[in-house]
Amino acid sequence: MKTYIPNKFIVDRDPERCIQCQVCVNQCSFDANYYDAEDDEVKSREENCVGCHRCVVFCPTQALTIRKNPLDYRENFNWRPEVIEDILKQAESGAMILTGMGNDKGYRVYWDHLVLNASQVTNPSIDPLREPMELTTYLGSKPDKVELDSNNLKLKTKLAPQVKLDIPVIFAAMSYGAVSINVHESLARAATEAGTLWNTGEGGLHSKLYKYGANTIVQVASGRFGVHQNYLDAGSIVEIKIGQGAKPGIGGHLPGEKVSSEVSLTRMIPQGTDALSPAPQHDIYSIEDLAQLVYSLKEATNYEKPISVKIAAVHNSAAIASGMVRAGADIIVLDGFRGGTGATPKIIRDNVGIPIELALASVDSRLRAEGIRNRASIVVSGGIRNSGDVAKAIALGADAVYIGTAALVALGCTLCQQCHTGKCAWGICTNNLTLTKRINPDIGSRRLANLLRGWSLELKDILGGMGLNALESLRGNRLSLRGIGLTDTELKILGVKMAGD
Amino acid sequence: MRDLTEISNPYSDGKIIDSCSIFGMMDTSGKCFSGKDITKAIGNMHFRGNGLGGGFAIYGLYPEYADYYAFHIMYLSKDSQNQVESFLKENFHVVVTDEIPTQPTPAIINPPLVWRYFLEVDMGKCVLQEPDDYVTEKVMQINTCMDGAFVFSSGKNMGVFKGVGYPEEIAEYFCLNDYQGYLWTSHGRFPTNTRGWWGGAHPFNILDWTVVHNGEISSYGINYRCLEQFGYLCTMQTDTEVVAYIIDLLMRKHGLPIEIVAKIMAPPFWDDIERLPQDERELLIALRQVYSSMLLNGPFTIIIAHQGEMIGFTDRIRLRPLTVGVKGSMLYLSSEEASIRLISPDLDKAWIPMGGEPIIGRLATENQKQFITGVTEVRTGNKLR
Ligand code: SF4
Ligand code: SF4
């Protein structure tokens, strides 16, 4: 069938600069560049280009420019080009449209409508270059009070297990299979260097990464891939994944082509078979079922590790979160609708779930109103882009944040949204061996650790500017935020005042 | 219900910002003295206030009525006085009622009525409740529900005198030279925005606890939210109120000693904790984990007092001043050393404590000889003299 979908990008190759070296041909995993031997000229199949910029970065003479194909349809606010093209795709394929990454629609980004405070006159700002500035955070359930041995001032209360973070930024769950082993190794090494954690995602932990266990969150998801006693013992936190912001209510599907022998070993499934994660966990159909899984994992790990439960941010997150805390979760993870994924039905990604800012604010308020906020840490994810977002999330009430997309961008990702194709030209979201070697764990871990270092310096500056020298004084401190351009209802949900008020 | 912010925070600021001078003096042998010296000392820091608030707390004040709750109540009208007095009669046995003596002072304009009551809890009404909790509840009721009335103080054998004016003017107005106590604290206030309100002056009191405070707590936004979880409603938008409630929660309800409470409000740095011996390290880590939202971050110095004890400390990096002076059995705590030397020129010791380190003065008893504690006293006290 002839496709009616026009190409999205124009590959502009400056003939004056191009030396026919064919680097772009080799770099493009989407087959958009080729060498025409007859004409002795590198040419492009523009209909294949996804705009990932791999060729642009690697072209030695900067001969390439990728431009958007202007596609001037007759203007229509309802029937936008994307809408038209999605219909064309389905008319030609008869299938669901799959995509990668998180919701890219123009919904309000609340981070961009929140601003932070700074000290002037009545309290001094603190200079992080001269004074200690503390970002240390402990994840885990806390009691409301401690008891002491009255005669010798020794601690009598035994706290539930706590995991220490030197920076309140954790690498989000991305499974081995969806991303390559080199990405996992880069994340694990960077987390170890930065004193934070990374998350295995639902595909198990490769045997060569067990040595990073102290900095690892091991995930238990609906497919239970790669879950066994050693795996649970390896991590410092066990996370039950109920849902994911990019596809709330939807399971996962790792196509058989991506299940290589190594992936098969780690996931404990036959090579080449599709790895299907059911939409729900089939042993959790209600809150008391969740409590049973939480406590079975606590039993299995001897009550030595916090158990985390991750849900997608949805309409009644606050009530669900309260139930999760009562079901014994030590950490609750909320994933907003901008959270990324390796593959999701586009219609789900773009239409289901709510922004993380609102979910976080309402969950934190609810847990406080019920007097159970101390009983669980809150970790949020889904669209955290920089240290400013981190600071705002903490001020709204988060203990820490997860970053997934931002970490991949540090490794080269340009959000071309082709993760589901397995062709990622940056070698991130693929298990094709010629592509995966594009991520060198020595360099990958350096880039990730650098990112965290940069953010931690910025967080210290932000704190110091507000006259605070410990992160916990920002946590839940919504007076340090003001809203701009928000309605009264939005301000009320976020629990912040309008700027100027 | 009366909206307190109408009075204490007319512009509905997130929080009232002020700064000030503080001074405390205690004779740890229990000997009582008049308000002459402390008035002179706090007056010496005149420029740290702006005349919009001054006050004093005195302990050992009413030995003849030591078993009764002494209420000092401010009224804006005769009506509110009648209303509160019938409320008191309903809930307490009123032993003595009198108007607190004052003298005309040029600087004090338009003062409210201030009355004093000695009360005994009506045990018929106070069932299933500690008398202290009963009294707290009644004080909150008067302060939040009754128009034109505010309880300055409600402890036994102590009292608070405060108002709008410089502290030395308040002392003159309330004739504080005529009173005797073994422990006095005082405060001169510099609010940046609040129009004068007598109830907004310091010391802040609940039961026999008083707090005077110089600071601007940057972590206020989380401190008050954390207290809400424990049922404390911060209605006055002041740091002092937050400090007072944290102390009430940690000391009275959680039963923690002041040394530990100071480590919660002004904790040592994680790096310093790492270097401590194991038991102490475990304790301090747990305190920071559990009470992270009660860390008072930003500049402050506070002097806390209750019967028999006076405690002073600063924030963890000492962004507001505190000087300690010791002369015989006398302990002085002050924003400025000059004020101490003005009334006691020949000190045994004077020093500046480390950030977050509590200086504690206690009434000496037979088996407790060490009545003033503080680490740097031993370490650097002599050097700084
Ligand atoms: S490498 Fe990426 S940007 Fe370059 S032609 Fe291929 S798909 Fe397009
Ligand atoms: S991970 Fe790869 S395929 Fe996915 S958006 Fe990033 S660069 Fe494109």
Query: Does residue B339 sit in the same domain as residue B248?
Result: yes
The band of B380, judged by pLDDT with boundaries at 50, 70 and 90, is very low
Q: What is the pLDDT of residue B47?
A: 84
8 Å CB contact between A329 and A459 = no
d(CA B295, CA B316): 9
Tell the residue nearest (CA) to atom 7 of ligand 1: A49
Ligand at minimal distance from the CA of A435 is: 2
Establish if A128 belongs to a structural domain: no
A121: alpha, beta or left, given left = phi > 0 and alpha = psi -120 to 50?
Answer: left
Establish if B343 belongs to a structural domain: yes
Residue B257 clears pLDDT 70, i.e. is over it: yes
Q: What is the pLDDT of residue B3?
A: 41
Assess whether the C-beta atom of A409 lies below 6 angstroms from ligand 2: no
C-alpha triplet A493, A173, A418: angle, nearest 5°? 95
d(CA A270, CA A479): 54
Tell me the residue range of the domain where A401 lies: 137-143+165-498
Q: What is the DSSP string of A299-344?
A: HHTTT-S-EEEEEE--TTHHHHHHHHHHTT-SEEEEE-TT---S-E
Query: Does residue A81 sit in the same domain as residue A179?
Result: no
Query: Does residue A365 sit in the same domain as residue A493?
Result: yes
pLDDT tens-digit series, residues B157-181: 999 999 989 999 999 999 999 999 9
Amino acid at A400: A
- Shortest distance, CA B169 to any CA of chain A (angstroms): 25
Q: What is the DSSP string of A424-436?
A: -TTSSS---HHHH
In the numeric block, which tokens belong to residue B111? 């003062």
The band of B16, judged by pLDDT with boundaries at 50, 70 and 90, is low
Considering only CA atoms, which of A378, A447, A435 is closest in space to residue A411?
A447
Q: Is the dihedral of CA B149, B155, B158, B164 positive or negative?
A: negative
Least confident of A473-482, B12-21, B126-135, B236-245: B12-21
The band of B190, judged by pLDDT with boundaries at 50, 70 and 90, is confident
CB contact under 8 A, B221 and A132: no
Establish if A2 belongs to a structural domain: no
Considering only CA atoms, which of B61, B53, B372, B301 is closest in space to residue B189?
B53
Q: How far is the CA of A110 from the centre of ligand 2 (A)?
A: 25
Residue A15 clears pLDDT 50, i.e. is over it: yes
pLDDT tens-digit series, residues B315-347: 999 999 999 999 999 999 999 999 999 999 999
The band of B379, judged by pLDDT with boundaries at 50, 70 and 90, is very low
Residue A158 clears pLDDT 60, i.e. is over it: yes
Q: What is the pLDDT of residue B367?
A: 62
State the residue for tokens 């304790």.
Answer: B283
d(CA A64, CA A56): 5
* Residues of chain B found within 8 Å of residue A136, distances taken between Cβ atoms: 270
- Comparing CB atoms, the residue among A122, A144, A474 nearest residue B19 is A122
pLDDT tens-digit series, residues B47-72: 888 778 899 999 999 999 999 999 99
CB contact under 8 A, A155 and B282: yes
Q: What is the pLDDT of residue B195?
A: 59
A99, A177, A253, A263, A344 from A256: Cα distances, Å: 18, 10, 9, 10, 16
Q: How far is the CA of A267 from the centre of ligand 1 (A)?
A: 32
Percent of chain B at pLDDT exceeding 90: 63
Q: How far is the CA of A342 from the centre of ligand 2 (A)?
A: 9
Residue B226 clears pLDDT 90, i.e. is over it: yes
CB contact under 8 A, B15 and A473: no
Structural domain count, chain B: 2
Query: Does residue B85 sit in the same domain as residue B214?
Result: no
The band of A248, judged by pLDDT with boundaries at 50, 70 and 90, is very high
* Residues of chain A found within 8 Å of residue B291, distances taken between Cβ atoms: 146
A294: alpha, beta or left, given left = phi > 0 and alpha = psi -120 to 50?
Answer: alpha
Q: What is this structure's pTM? A: 0.91
**H or E element at residue A489:** helix A488-494
- Please give the biggest Cα pair distance in chain B: 61
Percent of chain A at pLDDT exceeding 70: 100
Query: Does residue B37 sit in the same domain as residue B161?
Result: yes
Burial B290-321 (b: 16+ CB within 10 A, else e): bbbbbbbbbbbbbbbbbbbbbbbbbbbbbbbb
- Please give the biggest Cα pair distance in chain A: 92
Query: Does residue B362 sit in the same domain as residue B344?
Result: yes
Q: What is the pLDDT of residue B12?
A: 53
B175 among known catalytic residues: no
A165, B57, B251, B313, B355 from B261: Cα distances, Å: 25, 22, 7, 11, 14
In the numeric block, which tokens belong to residue A155? 């601690």
Q: What is the pLDDT of residue B109?
A: 84
Query: Does residue B161 sit in the same domain as residue B141?
Result: no
The band of B11, judged by pLDDT with boundaries at 50, 70 and 90, is low
Query: Does residue B142 sit in the same domain as residue B221?
Result: no
Establish if A344 belongs to a structural domain: yes
DSSP B346: S
Q: What is the pLDDT of residue B383?
A: 34
Query: Does residue A287 sit in the same domain as residue A418?
Result: yes
Query: Does residue B239 sit in the same domain as residue B116?
Result: no
* CATH code, A37: 3.30.70.20
Residue B376 clears pLDDT 70, i.e. is over it: no
Average pLDDT over residues A476-494: 96
Residue B266 clears pLDDT 60, i.e. is over it: yes
Establish if A104 belongs to a structural domain: no
8 Å CB contact between A345 and A247 = yes
- Shortest distance, CA A213 to any CA of chain B (angstroms): 23
Catalytic residue among B20, B126, B226, B234: B20
Q: How far is the CA of A29 from the centre of ligand 2 (A)?
A: 11
Q: What is the pLDDT of residue B19?
A: 63
Establish if A153 belongs to a structural domain: no
C-alpha triplet B54, B213, B17: angle, nearest 5°? 80
The band of B147, judged by pLDDT with boundaries at 50, 70 and 90, is confident
Query: Does residue B194 sit in the same domain as residue B315?
Result: yes
Tell the residue nearest (CA) to atom 2 of ligand 2: A424
* CATH code, A333: 3.20.20.70
Q: What is the DSSP string of B167-214?
A: HHHHHHHTTGGG--BSEEEEEEEEESSPPP-GGGSSPEEETTEEEEEE
pLDDT tens-digit series, residues A130-139: 999 999 999 9
d(CA B47, CA B196): 17
Q: What is the pLDDT of residue B140?
A: 86
Query: Does residue B114 sit in the same domain as residue B47?
Result: no
Average pLDDT over residues A479-492: 96
* Residues of chain A found within 8 Å of residue B216, distances taken between Cβ atoms: 122-123, 467
Query: Does residue B225 sit in the same domain as residue B312?
Result: yes
Residue B10 clears pLDDT 70, i.e. is over it: no
CB contact under 8 A, B317 and A126: yes
In the numeric block, which tokens belong to residue A19? 């030396």
Residue B378 clears pLDDT 70, i.e. is over it: no
Structural domain count, chain A: 2
Establish if A157 belongs to a structural domain: no
Q: Is A368 helix (H, G, I), strand (E, B) or coil?
A: helix
Residue B370 clears pLDDT 60, i.e. is over it: no
Q: Is B215 helix (H, G, I), strand (E, B) or coil?
A: strand
Q: Which long-range contacts (CB under 8 A, 24 or more apart) does A82-85 make?
A: A85/A5
Q: Cβ atoms within 10 A of the Cβ of B179, count?
A: 20
- Shortest distance, CA A218 to any CA of chain B (angstroms): 23
Supply the mean pLDDT for chain B: 87
Query: Does residue A205 sit in the same domain as residue A87?
Result: no
- Shortest distance, CA A423 to any CA of chain B (angstroms): 45
Residue A363 clears pLDDT 50, i.e. is over it: yes
Query: Does residue B264 sit in the same domain as residue B132?
Result: no
The band of B144, judged by pLDDT with boundaries at 50, 70 and 90, is confident
Tell me the residue range of the domain where B149 lies: 72-93+109-154
Backbone angles phi, psi at A430, to 5 degrees: -160, 160
pLDDT tens-digit series, residues A195-223: 999 999 999 999 999 999 999 999 999 99
Q: What is the pLDDT of residue B215?
A: 83
Q: Is A43 helix (H, G, I), strand (E, B) or coil?
A: strand
Residue B237 clears pLDDT 80, i.e. is over it: no
Count of residues for chain A? 501
The band of A191, judged by pLDDT with boundaries at 50, 70 and 90, is very high
Establish if A149 belongs to a structural domain: no
Query: Does residue A77 sit in the same domain as residue A171?
Result: no
Considering only residues B83 and B189, tell me which one the structure prediction assigns the higher pLDDT: B83
In the numeric block, which tokens belong to residue A433? 């061996």
- Comparing CB atoms, the residue among A123, A131, A159 nearest residue B286 is A159
Query: Does residue B121 sit in the same domain as residue B175?
Result: no
pLDDT tens-digit series, residues B66-104: 999 999 999 999 999 999 999 999 999 999 999 999 999
CB contact under 8 A, B279 and A468: no
